[in-house]
């Protein structure tokens, strides 16, 4: 065991109220590309003249729903992805009574698939969809497999929208408040798989005033200088090994 990993184990042992703040890098070991790395979705060459941000904007969804869903189904939904070592380790920490909450920028639902219970999804989830007219909810299969183009409500015919926060849309106020409260109560904050460049989500770390700040990310983040421990190792392997060593 490396000195850095041993230090992480010691921090976990010393902690009673851990909050994990995660981004796209948490799910890369599950086969879901991150958005901003060199190999990420945002740097993929698209055969269109629009940026990925424009393709997942509220304006584009309203104006071109069919084209929006073509991109959404192909690039943002990964129904075969499975929880990796990080997702499972966090679920185990919660089971041990050490994890207070997970605050995630991801929309893939893998934390819930790993049976984590307290998960604040800042950007929503691809697993939930709803009719914009009558509010009827639909699962991911309805949007991916059984719905017409674009997906319409079986009850009223209204347009069905993924329950995700698109560009130009605000974050959910209740989710934001719950996430901020959890971070403020934490004795340990682990930041993982995020470059901390997307706002307002990245600003949540300002609520932390606890004892241990840990960063696990392959590239530099603006939280590195304040962190007690910084690891550049794969987050799935790292969290899995640390929790198993408790």
Per-residue pLDDT of the chain (246 residues; tens, 9 = 90+): 899 999 999 999 999 999 999 999 999 999 998 765 545 554 455 555 777 788 889 999 999 999 999 889 988 999 999 999 999 999 999 999 999 999 999 999 999 999 999 999 999 999 999 999 999 999 999 999 888 889 999 999 999 999 999 999 999 999 999 999 999 999 999 999 998 987 887 789 999 999 999 999 999 999 999 999 999 999 999 999 999 999
47 exposed, middle or buried (CB, 10 Å; 0-12, 13-18, 19+)?
exposed
Whether 58 is catalytic: no
Encoded tokens for 145: 């497999």
Residue in 87, 92, 123, 212 annotated catalytic? 123
CA 74 from centroid of its chain's CA atoms: 18
Going from N- to C-terminal start, the domains of the chain cover 1-32+80-123+169-246
pLDDT value of residue 49: 72
Task: Count Cβ neighbours within 10 Å for each residue of 9-30 and write b for 16 or more, e otherwise.
Answer: bebbeebebbbbbbbbbbbbbb
Q: Which architecture does CATH list for 1-32+80-123+169-246? A: 3-Layer(aba) Sandwich (3.40)
pLDDT value of residue 219: 92
Specify the 3-state DSSP secondary structure of 19: strand
The secondary structure of 44-71 as a DSSP string is: SPPSSSS-HHHHTBHHHHHH-HHHHHHH
């Amino acid at each position: 065991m490396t000195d850095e990993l041993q230090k992480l184990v010691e921090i976990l042992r010393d902690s009673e109220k851990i909050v994990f703040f995660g981004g796209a890098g948490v799910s890369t070991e599950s086969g879901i590309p991150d958005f901003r790395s060199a190999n990420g979705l945002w740097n993929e060459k698209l055969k269109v003249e629009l940026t990925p941000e424009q393709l997942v904007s509220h304006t584009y969804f309203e104006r071109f729903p069919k084209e929006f869903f073509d991109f959404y189904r192909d690039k943002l939904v990964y129904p075969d992805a499975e929880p990796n070592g990080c997702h499972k380790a966090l679920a185990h920490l919660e089971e041990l009574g050490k994890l207070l909450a997970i605050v995630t920028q991801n929309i893939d639902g893998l934390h819930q698939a790993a049976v984590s219970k307290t998960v604040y999804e800042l950007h929503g989830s691809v697993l939930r969809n709803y009719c914009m007219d009558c509010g009827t909810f639909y699962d991911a299969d309805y949007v991916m497999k059984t719905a017409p183009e674009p997906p319409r409500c079986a009850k009223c015919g209204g347009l069905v929208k993924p329950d995700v926060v698109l560009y130009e849309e605000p974050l959910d106020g209740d989710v934001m408040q719950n996430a901020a409260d959890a971070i403020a109560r934490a004795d340990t904050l682990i930041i993982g798989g995020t470059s901390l460049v997307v706002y307002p989500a990245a600003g949540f770390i300002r609520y932390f005033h606890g004892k241990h700040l840990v960063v696990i990310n392959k590239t530099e983040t603006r939280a590195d200088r304040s962190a007690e421990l910084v690891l550049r190792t794969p987050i799935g392997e790292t969290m899995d090994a640390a929790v198993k060593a408790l």
